[in-house]
Amino acid sequence: MSKVCIIAWVYGRVQGVGFRYTTQYEAKKLGLTGYAKNLDDGSVEVVACGEKGRWKN
C-alpha cells in the first residue's frame, strides 16, 4: 500500500485544552505518524500520515 498524508488547520478553542495531546494519542492508536503544533494565530496545524486504507471519508 502507499503512504498518504493530510495537513489540516483547526481553528477555535484548540490551545490550552489538551487538543494536541488528544490528537496525537488518537493518531498513535490508528498507527499514524505526524505532528500537531500550535500556531501564532491561535490555531493548530495537524499533519497525519499513514498507509492508504486507514482513512475514513
Active site residues: 20, 38
Element (H, E) at 13: none
Q: Is the dihedral of CA 20, 54, 3, 50 positive or negative?
A: positive
Closest CA to 32 of 22, 24, 43: 24
